[in-house]
Homo-oligomer: A and B are copies of this chain.
Amino acid sequence: MKCKVEFVAVASVILLITIRCFYTEKKPQLKGCSPNYTRSELLNLVDDPVHPFKTTVFVVTPTYSRLTQKADLVRLCSTLKNVNFIHWIVIEDSLQKTDLVNETLVECGVPYTHLFALSPFRRRKQIRGSAQRNRGIEWIRNHPVPRNEKAIVFFADDDNTYDPRIFKEMLTTELGSTWPVGLVGGSMWEGCITDPKDRTKIIDFWCIFRPWRQFPFDMAAFAVNARLFTLFPTAQFDYYRALEQEGVILSQLGFRNAYDLEPKAGGCSKILVWHTKTLTPPIYSYIGFQHPPPSFV
């Protein structure tokens, strides 16, 4: 009996290692944009001003109604208030704008745009956020960046943790940039690794979860030049490639793989973003008169 257990254990370990090796090699290609531009061609097409008069970071945040929604938005607002070049695009997963989100944004003080987009009912459980992020992209396309300015797009979920310095890191993004993210994909961290001799060169990516992904990182791990959305007017998120939406959008924006991105956060040597989640608090059922909450919104 004892031997059997050991055999199963050893076999499982070998199986796991085999799977890991096999999958690391197998990298199904995402359908990219066509034609396939080189980096310098793309930079030419984007044609950003050398010394932009102003740089804006569009923070695109999908949000949905839940117990901790207000708290999460208030906390993200406090973070964004630490930097003065943010334009916060908040898109609700709802039939219309809600008072709760509206009042939070008004009271926040960060320049914002309030939108809504209902997730398709059938796809809701599979992929959250695609409809909202696409609505955000649509807004960005309809508000092109002025000639003498520059803009960066970052998809920021409302419950993640951001060190305000990450927004400053994004400012220097030419086409697309990436950095490591903490507490994600079942790992302490996930993301780019640079050459110790040349911190501007990504040599590898670390992740445990689905390492065969072409862009093996989290939604919070990259930012892109806003002009790419005008340059590739059909690029959008979908409802099918669950767990790989980062690749879906980046491959349509002219990036062939994750190595095409510029390393940020001290050459990927610092964690400035954490993929945190807020616990849903327990609410006891209560019989009797219940005081209504003070203006909760």
Contact = CB atoms under 8 A, between A and B. Distances in A.
B188 A296 contact: yes
Nearest to A16: B287
Copy tally for this chain in the complex stands at 2
A88 to B, nearest CB: 14
Contact of A274 (B70, B187, B206): B70
Contact of A208 (B187, B269, B284): B284
Q: Give the interface size class of chain A.
A: 35 or more
A67 interface: yes
Interface string A1-24: 000000000000100110010000
A127 interface: no
Nearest to A21: B288
A81 interface: yes
Nearest to A81: B82
B74 A161 contact: yes
Interface string A261-297: 0000110111100111111011110111011011110
Interface of A: 13, 16-17, 20, 67-68, 70-72, 74-75, 78-79, 81-82, 161-164, 180, 182-184, 186-189, 193, 204, 206, 208-209, 265-266, 268-271, 274-279, 281-284, 286-288, 290-291, 293-296
